[in-house]
Structure 1
Amino acid sequence: MHFAKLGILASSLCSSRHASTRAKMIKTLLVALSVPVLSSLASPAAAPGWGGHHEGGSNGPHHSGEWGPPPPHGPWQHGHQGPVCVVEASSDDSSPAILDAFARCGHNSGSEIGKVVFKNETYNIKQVMNTTGLRNVDVDLQGTLSWDNSDLPYWLNHSLPVGYQNQSSAWLFGGENVKWTGNGYGTLDGNGQTWYDFVNGTNNYPGRPHQITITGTSDSYFSGLRFVQSQMWTMTVIHSQSLLLEDIYVNSTDQKRAVGFEFSSLNTDGADTIYSDNITFRRWTVDNEDDSISAKANSTNILIEDCKFYTGLGVAIGSIGQYPDRFEVVENLTARNIEINNMRYGVYVKTWTGVHSGYPPNGGGGGHGYAANMTFENFNLINASGIFAITQCTSYNSASGNCDTSEFNIRDLSILNWNGTTTSDVIGDMQCSGASPCTGLKIEGVGGIVDTVNGTHPSQYLCDSVVDPTGFNCTGPIWEENSR
C-alpha cells in the first residue's frame, strides 16, 4: 500500500467514533504492514504460562529449567468458520449421533474450521467410537458423555485395539489441529465402578477398555475437561506429537473399598504417553489408585508441571522394556511443581527384567533401550508413604527374581528440591540392573522432607548397581525386591 494511503487510513482511524469501524481499519493497517492478524478464537499458544523455549532439534531439547514443547499451531488462529454440528442427545444411545457429527464437521480443508458442540445434557454411550483422522475442528463439550456398562460382554468383545500391550479402548480419537474445550465442567464419565467390581483386582483384564485414546494427533489443544470413574486407563496418548493438555481433572477411585495396594481399581492411570513427542500436561488434578501420569515406550520431550496428584502410585516412567525385539526410549522428561498427596511415591521408574516370560499385557521382558535426561523438580510431599524408587524387577504376573538381568539402561536422572512429609526413612530405593547399572543419578535439595514417624529427615539411600551418584552416598542394599 502506498504511504500516502497509509497516512489517510491512520488519520481516519483517529477520527472514527465507531469501534467496529476502527477495528476494520486496524486490521487493514496491520495487513498493509505485514503484521499477522489473529482471529477472535484464542490460540493455545497464548495460554498463560506457556513460556519456555525448545532447542536441540529432532533429538529433543536440553533442559534449561524453562523448557517446554513448542506450542501447537492450530488453524483456529487464522481460519474461518466451517460447518457446525450440534449433537442431539438420545435417551437410548447417543454414539451414532456423535459419530455422525464428527463425520460431517470434523474433516475440514484449507483454513476452514469445523465445530462439534455437545449441549449441557447427558449423552449415553453404548458403543465403541472411532473418530480419528480429524482435521481443523473445534470441540465444545458443555455436558456429560456417560458410558453405559450394562453389557460388559459387549465392551470386552468390541473394545478397539490401542496398538500397545494388547490394550484396547472405548474411544479412539485423533487428528490434526484439534481444539477440544470442556469449559471446566464438560465431563467424560466412564461409570467405572462396574468395572472395578467386575475385575476385582485382576491386573490388565483382557478387553477392559481405556476411556479415551488420543491417537495419531498433532498440533492440538485439550483443556477444561473432567474425567470421572474411568473404565481403565483414563487417557492414552499414542503416536501423537505437539499437544498441550491443561486444566484437566481426573477422579477414578473405588467407592466401595478403601485405598490399598491390592485395590480393585488397579490400572486406572490418569494419563499415559506411548510413541509420542512434545507433550505437555499442565495443571492436572488426578485422584486415582495407580500411576498419576506415566511415560511409556518412546515418550520424548514430555513436560508435566503445576499438577496435584492424590492417592495413587506417583509419576511413573514405564513400565518399559517389555518387548524383546524392540529398542525403546524415554528421553527428555521434566516434571516440576508437583504436589503429592497420600501416595506411594513421588516418582518411580519401572522396567521389565531381561528374561522374557509370557506375553503383554501381563508378560514380557528382555527389551532394550534407555531412559535418560529426566528431571523431577520442586515436589511437595503430603503424607507420602515413599519418596523415590527404581525397580528393574517387573516380570510376568509379578514373578520374583532376575532383577540383575535387564539391559534397559537408566541414566541422567535428577531429583531436585523436594519438601514435605512422608512415613519413610528412605529417600531412594534404587534397584538397578547389574547387567546395565544406573549412571548419572543426582539427588539434591531434599533436606526439607520430614519422616513423620520419628520426626527426622529421611537419610537412607538403598542401592543395587548404582554407579557414581551425585548428591548422595548409598547407605545399604535394597531391603526387599520391589516388583512394581
Structure 2
Amino acid sequence: MRASFIPAGLLFLVITSQTLARPRQCRVISKGDGKDDAPALLAAVDNCGKGGTIILPSKNYTIAQPITTHLEHASLELHGFLSFTPNITYWVANSYRFPFQNQSISWHLTGHDFTVDGHKTGGVFGHGQTWYTWARGQGNLYGRPMSISITNATRGVVKNFNIIQPQFWSSLVWNSSEIVLRDFYVNATNFDTSANGSNWVQNTDGSDTYQSSNILYENWIYQGGDDCIAFKPNSTKIALRNISCFGGAGIAFGSIGQYPGELDIISDISIENVVTKPSMQNPMTAGAYFKSWIGVQVGLPPNGGGGGMGYCKNVTIRNLHTESTVPLSLTSNLSYSQLNQSYANTSTFLWDDIHFINISGSSATDRVIDFECSSKAPCKDWSFRDINLVPANNDNTDENYVCQNLNATGLDQCHG
C-alpha cells in the first residue's frame, strides 16, 4: 500500500485548525423555584451535544417532562441532581414506552462516544416515595418510569453517578453496546410509616440489561428492594466487578422466556467480587438467582406469560459472599400466580455451562441451594469450586440442597 502524500502547506493548515478549535461548551443554571429546567437542558444538548461539553453546576434541576439527551463525541458534566417531578398522573400518561413488560422510561441517554460524569455529587432524584406509596403491593404497576435508559448507544461511559429514590428500575441498558457504568450509588428507601415492614420499594432494580452487549458494571453500591443487577433477554458479554447489594433479590438472570415463541439469550457473563446482604429495611433473598418462565403461556406480561425459548450459557460467578434467604437458586416454573404447579417441568429454556467459584456466606433458612431445573431442559455442565455456605440449622446434609434435573460437578450434595 502506497503512503498518502500531503503537501506541507496543507498539513500545516490541518494542524493549525485542530489546535485552534475549542470544544463548544454550554452551561445550564437551574431556574429554581420548581421551574422546569428540561427545556434549557435540551437546548444545551442541541448546541453542544456533538463534540462539546454540557455543564450543569447547580445542585438541583427540576425535570417536568421526559427527556432525550443525544451525545456524540461529547460529555455531560452533572454536578447536581436531575429531580423528576412526582406528578404521577402526568408521568403515567407521558413517559416513553419500553416494549418489554409494557414499561416506561423518563430519560433516554442516546448517542455514541460520550461520557456522563456525576462527579459523585450528581445524578437522578426520582421522588420515589410518591411512587412507592402509590404502587404499594403491586408489582410492575403500569406507568412507573425508569429513571434512566441508555438506549441505542455505543461506546459510552456513565460514572460517579447517584440514583436516589428511583421511580421504578433505576437504570436500563437497552439496545446498546460497549457501555461502562462505573462508580454508581443507588438507594431506594421507603419512609412511609404505614408500610408495616412490607417491601414497598419493589421493582427498584439497580440496573437491567436488554438486547445489549459488551457492558461493564464496576464499583456499584445498591440498596433497595429488588434485583441489584438483572440480565433480561438477549444480554451478552457482560461483566460485573465489585458490586455490593443491600436488600432485595441479589444478582438476577431473567426473568426470561416470558414471551411465547421468542428466542431469548443470556451468554458470556462474568461476575466477580460481589457481596449481597440484608439492609435495615429489606431482607436479601439471594446471592445469585436464575428465573425462567413455564413452557406455556398463562396470563399476559408484565406479570404473566411463558412459552418462550432460548438459553443461558458461559456464566462464571467468582468471589461471591452472601447473607441471604437462599444463597443460590433457580426456578424454571415462573407463572402468573407464581404458585401454579400445573405447568412444572414444561420450560424448554436451557441453563448450561454455569460455574461458581469461591462462594461463601450463610442462609436465613435451612436451604443453601435450590435449583429446580425443568425435566424438559435439564441444567447441564454446571460446576462448583470452593463453596462454603452455612444454613441456618448449621447442617451440611442433602436436605440443605435441592438440585432437580441438574448435571453438576464439584458439589457432592447435588446428585442430579
Scaled by the length of structure 2, the TM-score of the pair is 0.89
Aligned residues of 1:201 and 1:265 also touching (Cα < 8 A) = no
Q: How far has the Cα of 1:143 moved from its partner?
A: 1.0
Of 110, 118, 135 in structure 2, the residue corresponding to residue 174 of structure 1 is 110
Change in 2 beyond 3 A, CA 1:176/1:475: closer
The reply on whether 1:163 has 2:99 as its aligned counterpart is yes
Which residues of 2 match residues 306-321 of structure 1 at below 5 A? Answer: 306-321=242-257
Within 5 A, what are the aligned runs for 1:446-457?
Answer: 446-447=387-388, 449-451=389-391, 453-456=392-395
Structure 2 residue identity aligned to 1:125: I
The answer to whether the 8 A contact 1:215-1:238 is kept is yes
| Structure 1, 468-477 or 290-299: larger mean CA deviation | 468-477
Q: Are the counterparts in 1 of residues 397 and 413 from structure 2 also a CA contact under 8 Å?
A: no
Counterpart pick for 2:40 among 97, 100, 103: 97
Residue 395, structure 1, aligned to residue 335, structure 2: yes
> Residue 296 of structure 2 aligns with which residue?
355
Aligned to 2:155: 219
Does residue 246 (structure 1) correspond to residue 182 (structure 2)? The answer is: yes
* Residue 465 of structure 1, aligned match among 397, 405, 412: 405
Matched AA of 1:263: N
> Within 2, Cα distance between the matches of 1:377 and 1:260?
36
1:293 match: secondary structure: strand
Matches within 5 A, 1:41-440: 81-91=22-32, 92-106=35-49, 108=50, 113-132=51-70, 134-149=71-86, 151-256=87-192, 263-342=199-278, 343-381=284-322, 383-401=323-341, 402-440=343-381
TM-superposed deviation, 1:474:
4.8
- For residue 380 of structure 1, report the CA deviation from its aligned partner: 1.6
Q: What is the DSSP-based 3-state SS (H/G/I as helix, E as strand, rest coil) of the residue aligned with 1:416?
A: strand
Determine helix, strand or coil for the equivalent of 2:254.
strand
Q: Which runs of 5+ in 1 are unaligned?
A: 1-30, 32-77, 478-484
Query: Letter of the aligned partner of 2:132 in structure 1?
Result: Y
Q: For residues 367 and 270 of structure 1, what CA distance do their matches in structure 2 show?
A: 25
Name the SS for the 2:52 alignment partner: strand
| Per-residue CA distance 1:430-484 (angstroms, 9 max, x = gap) | 111111111112122113x333x34455762202221x3111245689xxxxxxx
Preserved contact between residue 327 and residue 369 of structure 1 (Cα < 8 Å): yes
Aligned equivalents of 1:258 and 1:153: distance in 2?
23
Distance 1:79 1:406, change over 3 A: farther
Deviation at 1:421, TM superposition (A): 3.1
In the alignment of these two chains, the number of paired residues is 390
C-alpha distance in 2, partners of 1:147/1:325? Answer: 37
Distance 1:96 1:153, change over 3 A: same
Task: Tell me the TM-score normalised to structure 1 length.
Answer: 0.77
Question: What are the Cα deviations for residues 119-160 of structure 1, in whole angstroms up to 9, with x where unaligned?
Answer: 13210111111224x3111110111111110x2111011110
Is 1:210–1:231's contact at 8 Å kept on the other side of the alignment?
yes
Paired residue type of 1:145: L
Distance 2:385 2:60 in 1: 49
In 1, Cα distance between equivalents of 2:328 and 2:82: 37
Higher mean C-alpha displacement, 395-404 vs 362-371 = 395-404
Partner SS state of residue 312, structure 1: coil
> In 1, distance between residues paired with 2:239 and 2:160?
18
Q: Which runs of 5+ in 2 are unaligned?
A: 1-10, 12-18, 279-283
Instruction: In structure 2, give the amino acid aligned to 1:190.
Output: G
On the 8 A contact 1:305/1:337 being kept in 2, the answer is yes
Shift of 1:79: 12
The structure that is strand-richer by fraction is 2
> 1:311/1:458 Cα in 2 relative to 1: closer, same or farther (>3 Å)?
farther
Does the 8 Å contact 1:162/1:213 carry over to 2? no
Tell me if the contact between 1:442 and 1:471 (Cα under 8 Å) persists in the aligned partners: yes
Question: 1: distance between equivalents of 2:195 and 2:344?
Answer: 28
- How far residue 397 of structure 1 moved from its aligned partner, in angstroms, is 4.5
